[in-house]
Amino acid sequence: MSCAAFAGCLGSDDDEKEEESNDSVDEKPAWLDASDAGYTYASNVDNHRSLMNDLCEIKAAASSDGGYDFTGAKEIYMNGKNAQKSDGSFRTLAGFASATGKNHDYDSYYGMNGSVDAHIMAALDGTGDFEGTSDTVRYQGTAKLTVNLGMVAYTLHELNAAILKAEAGNWGTDDAQHAWDEGWAFFHGPDEHYGCSPAKVMEKRAADFGTADADGVAATFAATEAAMNAGLTALQNEDMQGVVDARDEVLKNLVIVYSQAVLKYTSKMDSNTTAEKYQAEGYAFWKAIEAYAAPHMHDGCYNMAVGHKVMMMGEIDASACDAFIWTNGSQEENGTADTCYNTVNHMVSTDATDEAGCDGYTSQYYMDNYAATM
């Protein structure tokens, strides 16, 4: 998959390296060492790594312990606090989130410039989807959207920027490799601030879904870290396909982990006392991948015989909704029919548990582009 497959991959960023060259080595904090987790940087991204501490402080200010200080959280989000550049200004998450022409799919999907910022500001200001919601809901939106939608968008932007630079023949540590390093800085950041990063979500969901290895390392994180290292090596070897494959592997694992997060929190929304909290968390995690996952959900087949449910089918035409058959899923000779199977896209309906339910799928109830209404 080339960068052209991603909407918004036009142009590139040249602001990534503006402040590093004049940084004073004597003033560097000890935690800004050469590596974070299993990734060793090829270039100086200290300023970018420092932004992760802003995320920690935004979360702290907006929390109940912080007195739900959304004004204070907004101040850090808008004006920055920890990632000071050599000219005295601060790198800010808002500066990226509100910018146009970034190398991610969110703006094209939502049909607006600065869509990442719009989602975050709604939580901070109590507007839009967060209008009239409780402080608890706004906190969850603020904490989860800044870390996940904001920093994931920043990560993907930098990986795509690296590909654009490489395509232009600029493979070096001041160009493509530098942008790739920034991707890890925004995804993982300093080990000391890892708890505020998107990478931490992988650890948490692995614990929920049993997808960690014996050492507690999430399968998604191991794959992402390996892909980031492989991508850097590919850039050093001027191997374009290797870089693209690495970027795609990172994106795949982001979709996996945020799908896990959505499943976890939407499944907990039946509580009378905490439903709104879980709904806000599920909403925020979904926003991290909606622009990348939703376009592949496409159409659905509605079935009133199974409790008025819609089965997502991918991109199909109406005739596929007529293609469900009640059959023997085990394919054993003389086996009992027990599976509602679609002969077009080879999907199985888990909602239809008998033949009558399976017969409820018909082209009459084809739902064109149903995902867009969700």
Half-sphere exposure of 284 (CA within 13 A, CB side): 29
Q: What is the pLDDT of residue 23?
A: 43
Q: What is the pLDDT of residue 53?
A: 97
112's CB contacts (< 8 A; 6+ apart) are 118
- Contact between residue 229 and residue 39 where contact means Cβ atoms under 8 Å apart: yes
- What is the arrangement of strands in the sheet containing 366-367, beginning at the earlier edge strand? 309-314, 299-303, 366-367
Taking only the tens place, the pLDDT of each residue in 40-87 is 999 999 999 999 999 999 999 999 999 999 999 999 999 999 999 999
Burial class (CB in 10 A: 0-12, 13-18, 19+), 78: middle
Alpha carbons 83 and 99: distance in angstroms, whole number: 18
Taking only the tens place, the pLDDT of each residue in 195-244 is 999 999 999 999 999 999 999 999 999 999 999 999 999 999 999 999 99
How distant, in Å, are the alpha carbons of 133, 180, 260, 270 from that of 191? 34, 18, 24, 36
Alpha carbons 150 and 140: distance in angstroms, whole number: 14
Q: What is the pLDDT of residue 331?
A: 81
Q: What is the pLDDT of residue 18?
A: 42
Which among 162, 164, 123, 163 is positioned nearest to 283, based on CA atoms?
123
Using 70 as the pLDDT threshold, list the residues of the chain that sit under it: 1-27, 372, 374
Q: What is the pLDDT of residue 372?
A: 66
